[in-house]
């Protein structure tokens, strides 16, 4: 019993030491995330959530897998923070679903009538009145503005969000080669020319690091559709940045 007690205390002490040692990591990650001014969430709230993520990382860490703990913990900490931001942001599944229905309606009508559809035509297609349509468009714009703000944000360590991920030199792909030498201001202007759905998907892929499967689940479309929109958005960026 004494041996078991000693082992338990030793394990607890090691856990506390790891948590305390990596608290600066939580602070650094929270400092690098830009919050929407409309949110009630504060940096202190983000830090608290990050500490919980750190504690979970300590409990789930497996030394036998030869993964550096700081790298493992960073993913857990950032993931916890992003989950909390999602809860308080405009990106609820309901709003994204309505936005998705709106965008699909616009696409369908555009292909059918070979021009940009008017609001009344979209409303009729969706079976809603203009007031409801304007609410959806306002919500879509709010979501797009939030993610554009996130994309253009640069933290105190001069690390950018979407831009840095798009031009990450460690990722060798045609789009990265295309974007890596572009001026950041031009990229932000180019992002502003994308539609709401394209901006959201790029942000979810490159900033929040969600998989295509996760994004497809959130937006309630197929994985191939997300891939198609992603590719189309990158082609648009290529054209704008030429």
List, for residues 80-120, the tens digit of each pLDDT value.
887 787 676 655 566 667 777 888 888 889 888 888 899 99
Phi, psi of 55 (to 5 degrees): -60, -40
pLDDT tens digit sequence for 43-78: 888 899 999 999 998 988 888 776 778 888 887 888
Q: How confident is the model at residue 125 (pLDDT cuts 50, 70, 90)?
A: very high
Separation of CA 141 from chain center:
16
Q: Is CATH 1.20.58.760 the right assignment for the domain spanning 2-88?
A: no
- Annotated domain spans of the chain: 2-88, 93-240
- Whole-model pTM: value is 0.43
3-state secondary structure 105-121: HHHHHHHHHCCCCCHHH
Q: Rounded to an integer, what distance in angstroms lies between the CA atom of residue 191 and that of residue 234?
A: 10
Q: Rounded to an integer, what distance in angstroms lies between the CA atom of residue 22 and that of residue 76?
A: 12
Mean pLDDT of the chain: 73
Tokens 């054209």 -> residue: 239
């Amino acid at each position: 019993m004494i041996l078991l007690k000693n082992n338990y205390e030793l394990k607890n002490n090691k856990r506390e030491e790891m948590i305390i040692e990596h608290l600066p990591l939580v602070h650094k990650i929270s400092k690098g995330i830009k919050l929407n001014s409309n949110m009630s969430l504060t940096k202190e709230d983000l830090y608290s959530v990050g500490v919980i993520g750190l504690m979970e990382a300590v409990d789930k860490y497996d030394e036998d897998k030869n993964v550096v703990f700081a790298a493992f913990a960073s993913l857990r900490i950032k993931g916890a923070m992003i989950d909390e931001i999602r809860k308080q942001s405009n990106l609820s599944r309901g709003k994204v679903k309505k936005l998705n229905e709106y965008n699909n309606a616009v696409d369908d009508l555009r292909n059918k009538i070979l021009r940009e559809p008017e609001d009344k035509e979209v409303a009729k297609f969706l079976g809603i009145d203009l007031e409801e349509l304007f609410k959806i468009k306002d919500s879509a714009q709010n979501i797009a503005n939030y993610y554009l703000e996130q994309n253009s944000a640069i933290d105190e360590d001069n690390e950018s969000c979407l831009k840095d991920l798009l031009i990450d030199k460690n990722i060798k792909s045609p789009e990265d080669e295309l974007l890596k030498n572009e001026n950041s201001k031009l990229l932000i202007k180019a992002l502003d020319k994308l539609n709401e759905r394209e901006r959201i998907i790029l942000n979810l892929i490159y900033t929040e690091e969600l998989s295509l499967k996760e994004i497809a689940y959130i937006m309630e479309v197929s994985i191939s559709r997300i891939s198609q929109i992603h590719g189309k958005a990158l082609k648009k960026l290529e054209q704008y940045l030429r």
